[in-house]
Chain A
Amino acid sequence: MEKYRINPSKGLEFGIYTLGDHIPDPHTGERISAEQRIHEIIELAKIAEQAGIDFFSVGESHQEYFATQAHSVVLSAIAQATEKIKIASSSTIISTSDPVRVYEDFATIDLISKGRTEIIAGRASRVGLFDLLGYNLRDYEELFEEKFELLLKINEEKIVNWSGQFRAPLRNAEVIPRPQSGSMPIWRAVGGPPASAIKAGYAGVPMFLANLGGPATSFKFSVDAYREAAKQNGFDPAQLPISTAGFFYAAETTQQAQKEAYPHVNQGMKLINGRGYPKQQFAQGADTRDVMNVGSPQQIIEKILYQHELFGHQRYIGQMDFGGVPFDKLMKNIELIGNEILPAIKKYTAKK
């Protein structure tokens, strides 16, 4: 796992991610400015680092209600504002970007951050950016596969020779600057169904599995399929880290956590996907067997340990700022993570 800068003996890595959503607070209907939102994201990364959190990532989205379209620029500011926390994109939509430019950007951020940067590349769950950036939605799958392959190639090879369908060929091209250690971790972002997980396994790349809610066992299927596909294609699954990503919200009691989180999650889903989050499903989310980490610190510790046992993953990242959650609530979450959740998780997952 060294290639991916992960040492499993230190226990499960814990991180926070934001999609950079810019949504009104459902209680007040008020929306902070994009300027304030971006500064709060940078501030959140700093506080996360102080609390001992391992990882912080920012997503790219090009639609209404988002503020981090230029997510690499925000990450660059975070690289400068922090010292030891790992930083990444979650995710970079590689389908609609030039892998050479993405690599140049992130290698630069890696140098600014002194070797703390990673790329998580995804296919886009919303597809409005295809029109915006001049791509054809019909090429959805092929665009991602081709560009992701090129991105990996640039990471592995100093001099790149390449030709493909969606970009001018590269002849003896040297993509610079290089990251601090010559290459950097590149993950594949994977949604729920196993088809995408299998592709990640086949390519032998680490997998970032989004699992917002639902029974943890149903995501176990993707995890197993990923490892099996990697093995079949000659990769050692033990060398390939897995990360999971999903909703997170901690408060003193599980009831309070649900009460505080629900209006944000529901409104965020409504504005972005057009459908609220069904209350019934959210209520079930408190069950230890459900993958959603919303609850009291003790409940969340139990859930994360259960998921760790089930998935054998190396990193978990939580999304706690979705739907206009005010900053003081985020600070409170970080406090609970730092004081209660993190020590317990490390204690039980680190190899003695």
Chain B
Amino acid sequence: MKVVLLSGSKVGSKTRTAMDYTKKAITEKYPDLETTLIDLAEYDVEFSDGRNYLEYEGDTGYVTKTIMEADAIIIGTPIFQASIPATLKNIFDLLPVNALQHKVASIVVTAGSSKHYLIAENQLKPILGYMKAQIVQTYVFVEEQDFHRKEITNDDVLFRIDRLVEDTVVLTETYTKIREEKEAAYGF
């Protein structure tokens, strides 16, 4: 199983911090999984111009191909201007229609205010749904007050990250099994 953790912002450190915790949780609990953390701040990703993702080169090609090869994606996003950041939206724009079919997607949100709680629900989930992801319904919402100098200090958040990781892996394994059984029944 391949899991990609996508830290969706070029700005700030909180989403990356949360994703580092998530990565640590997943590698500790499931050391055999192939996990890759992509922090968009470290890559020079082009804006989508409509071509097939296989035709992009360099960082853009690397990021899109790595996501397309994953079985599960854990998306980390800050909330900017009451929305997901453009860097993250661009990743979706770079991918083809139905790109997330047969993939599991789960969400970690970092935000300055609890007022942004429904943004993942209202903006991110519809995109993931349109792209046919199997979405882990509960997500982790981390507020400014849960951080202290690049560390997460709220144990509730840490427990929730552990549960998100577990749910992501369980759903991916289960879904893969269901799909394999179903496909075997077609006989071709």
Contact = CB atoms under 8 A, between A and B. Distances in A.
B182 interface: yes
The 5 closest A-B pairs by CB, nearest first: A259-B188, A258-B188, A279-B183, A128-B55, A262-B188
Contacts of A279: 182-183, 186, 188
B51 A275 contact: no
Contact of B187 (A126, A140, A255): A255
A275 B55 contact: no
Given A272-B54, A275-B99, 5 more contacts: A128-B55, A138-B49, A275-B68, A280-B182, A282-B188
9 contacts: A63-B55, A126-B51, A127-B55, A258-B187, A272-B54, A273-B52, A274-B53, A275-B101, A280-B182
A137 interface: yes
Interface in A112-133: 126-128
A247 B68 CA distance: 25
B50 interface: yes
Interface in B41-78: 49-55, 65, 68
Where chain B touches its partner, the secondary structure class is loop
Interface of B: 49-55, 65, 68, 96, 98-99, 101-102, 182-183, 186-188
B131 to A, nearest CB: 11
A259 B187 contact: yes
A138 B50 CA distance: 10
A282 B187 CA distance: 12
Interface residues on A, range: 20 to 34
A283 B96 contact: no
Interface string A262-283: 1000000000111100111011
Nearest to B101: A278
Contacts of B102: 278
A255 B53 CA distance: 33
Given A126-B55, A137-B49, A137-B50, A274 B186 contact: no
Among A258, A259, A262, A278, max chain B CB count under 10 A is at A278
Interface string A61-86: 00100000000000000000000000
